[in-house]
Chains A and B, each alone.
Chain A
Amino acid sequence: DAMVIQNPRYQVTQFGKPVTLSCSQTLNHNVMYWYQQKSSQAPKLLFHYYDKDFNNEADTPDNFQSRRPNTSFCFLDIRSPGLGDAAMYLCATSRGGPETQYFGPGTRLLVL
């Protein structure tokens, strides 16, 4: 089945210790997104890639970076996680435009 896969599902890191979250897709979609969702909040878009073209949201902290080495994979790097970065991180894909976005199961990040 074509899908969006996120690894790991749960990640525990220490305050200030860099962490990388992974997303892969078998849908061959052009666009990949990273969202942050905190408890009882709406998912908040951090950035997205259209093919290799990176688009950062204006209010995404510099602490958050992303890499997309190929169509299938996209990584979220948090350079120095703070306690406030504990959240669910959702990866999504779409063909582009006002298309339906397909979400992965998410990675829950805990910062100690």
Chain B
Amino acid sequence: DQQVKQNSPSLSVQEGRISILNCDYTNSMFDYFLWYKKYPAEGPTFLISISSIKDKNEDGRFTVFLNKSAKHLSLHIVPSQPGDSAVYFCAATDSGAGSYQLTFGKGTKLSVIP
């Protein structure tokens, strides 16, 4: 049973436009969420995170929005650049569980077209 779902396997966006990547989760105990970016032949690299006490977190061109009632988060990239082309993974954890496990989605492959 997938607790973190990224329903779009791929997304194509024109350079300069906004990219919106979506993620849904089912476990109401999740309270900390992260986005990772992965280039081919490399490991995932941390991009941005958000705690459940917030509904928005910004870092430069990247903004993550969290809607706890809908169990939904999204990553916005504005403006999109060709170097943003990668696979983006959403991950979640229950920080109070004493566990260190991140539960990942399957990823969304973003292609930014010049």
Contacts and interface: CB of A to CB of B under 8 A. Distances in A.
Interface of A: 4, 6, 9, 31, 33, 40-45, 48, 50, 55, 57, 90, 92, 94, 96-98, 100-106
B16 interface: no
Given A100-B49, A105-B43, A43 B104 contact: yes
Contacts of A94: 100
Contact of A102 (B46, B100, B101, B105): B46
A50 B43 contact: no
Interface of B: 2, 4, 9, 31-32, 34, 36, 41-46, 49, 51, 89, 93, 95, 100-107
A45 B89 contact: no
Given A42-B4, A101-B46, A33 B100 contact: yes
Contact of A97 (B43, B45, B95): B95
B104 A40 contact: no
Contacts, number: 57
A96 B100 contact: yes
B100 A50 contact: yes
Contacts of B93: 98
A33 B36 CA distance: 16
Contact of A43 (B42, B89, B100): B89
Contacts of A44: 104
Contact of A90 (B9, B44, B49, B103): B44
